[in-house]
Amino acid sequence: EVQLVESGGGLVQPGGSLRVSCAASGFSFSNYWMYWVRQAPGKGLVWVSRIKSDGSSTSYADSVKGRFTISRDNAKNTLYLQMNSLRAEDTAVYYCAREYGDNDFDIWGQGTMVTVSS
Residues that bind another protein (CB under 8 A): 35, 37, 44-47, 50, 57, 59, 61-63, 95, 100-106, 108-111
Q: How far is the CB of 72 from another protein (least distance, A)?
A: 16
Q: How far is the CB of 35 from another protein (least distance, A)?
A: 8
Residue 27 or residue 108: which is nearer to another protein going by CB? 108
Q: How far is the CB of 30 from another protein (least distance, A)?
A: 20
Residue 13 or residue 106: which is nearer to another protein going by CB? 106
Q: How far is the CB of 101 from another protein (least distance, A)?
A: 5
User: What single-letter amino acid sits at 62?
Assistant: D
Task: Tell me how many helices (H) and strands (E) the chain has.
Answer: 0, 11
Residue 15 or residue 104: which is nearer to another protein going by CB? 104
DSSP string, 38-81: EE-TTS-EEEEEEE-TTSS-EEE-TTTTTTEEEEEETTTTEEEE
Dist. CA 86–CA 108, nearest whole Å: 24
Residue 12 or residue 96: which is nearer to another protein going by CB? 96
